[in-house]
Chains A and B, each alone.
Chain A
Amino acid sequence: MFSDRVELKDLPKQDPEYIDLLRRVLAIQADCEIGGPHLYVDAMLPSAPSQIDQLVVARTAAEEIDHFRKFARLAGDIGVDTAYLMSRPNQERYLEAFRGLITTWEDFAVFGFLIDRVGKYQLEEFAGCTYAPLSRLLEHPSRVMEEEAGHIDFGTTRTAEMAAKGGAARERVQRAVDFWYTTGLDMFGRSESRRAERYSFWGLKRRTNAEARAQYIAEVNPLLESMGLQVPDALAGRKYL
């Protein structure tokens, strides 16, 4: 297992596989950061339930754009141009979670509750990783992590509020949960992933896909139950097992 702490100036001396994986993971993370606002800004900024909520949508987008900026800078510093990601059509995003549109407040809230939470798991992988500039971005205290926690908290609170209303409101939020729960579990990738093993070997990620997914399920399922929502089947509709 590789455990060096690699600074930018040391990168040219590293194994080509290490460099390839680093370039890839930075591009994917930048894509995910800017992919969020592309899902919800158009529909949610004008239609959020209140002006405060509209401002929360704008603030969330601003923070995600700033996260994109930070990952794009890390990528740009090692020769990876990610500017094209800013105008990439949603259907071409790396991860399926970012390939559609969010057009309802239930989906916006549940996206924060479930998908930003997956994002937290992905970002946690980089804190303490072998590429020092990336690690520093996510090490405590990390503004990126704090802002992601804010998105998760807002989404969780709003999801719980809608579920607590019961009736049609709960049905709508359950439908959103059914969709995003499955999508979120797929975001962790295949359990038997050769690439994930290589990320782990090079110290760019700590957990296997299966470990991270299992921890996520253990965190999310009790939250859903506490909101009176049904926990979807963890295998139904999945594309990456």
Chain B
Amino acid sequence: MPEALTPTAIAQPLDDYLREVVQTLHTAVNQGMRRAADDPHAASPQIADCAEILTVIMAGDVKEWLG
């Protein structure tokens, strides 16, 4: 395969990292939805978790994530 078409070094690790992040976000969102269904103001901890994770992802420091 020509060099230009070989997989990038971070293709797999970035995929793995983001997959885990997305899973964690979904877990927090689902927990929050359940709590908010019982009490519309009870999901603050889950929203804070989402905000913390999304702040890291939006910063986009891929090198730091992947070591």
Contacts and interface: CB of A to CB of B under 8 A. Distances in A.
30 contacts: A11-B1, A12-B5, A41-B54, A46-B51, A51-B32, A54-B43, A55-B33, A55-B43, A55-B46, A58-B28, A58-B47, A61-B54, A62-B26, A62-B29, A66-B18, A68-B18, A69-B18, A72-B15, A72-B18, A73-B11, A73-B14, A76-B15, A79-B4, A80-B8, A81-B8, A83-B62, A86-B57, A87-B60, A87-B62, A88-B60
A86 B11 CA distance: 14
Nearest to B19: A69
Contacts of A81: 8, 10
Interface of A: 11-12, 19, 37-38, 41-42, 45-46, 50-52, 54-55, 58-59, 61-63, 65-66, 68-69, 72-73, 76-81, 83-84, 86-88
B54 A52 contact: no
The winner among A62, A72, A80 for most chain B CB atoms within 10 A is A62
A45 B48 CA distance: 10
* Number of chain B interface residues as a range: 35 or more
A52 B38 CA distance: 11
Contact of A55 (B29, B41, B61): B29
A86 B62 contact: yes
A117 to B, nearest CB: 23
Q: Is the interface of A mostly helix, strand, loop or mixed?
A: helix
A58 B22 CA distance: 10
A87 B7 CA distance: 21
Main secondary structure of the interface of B (DSSP, over half): helix
Given A58-B25, A87-B59, A73 B15 contact: yes
Which are the 8 A-B pairs with shortest beta-carbon distances? A76-B11, A87-B60, A86-B60, A58-B50, A62-B25, A69-B18, A83-B62, A51-B43
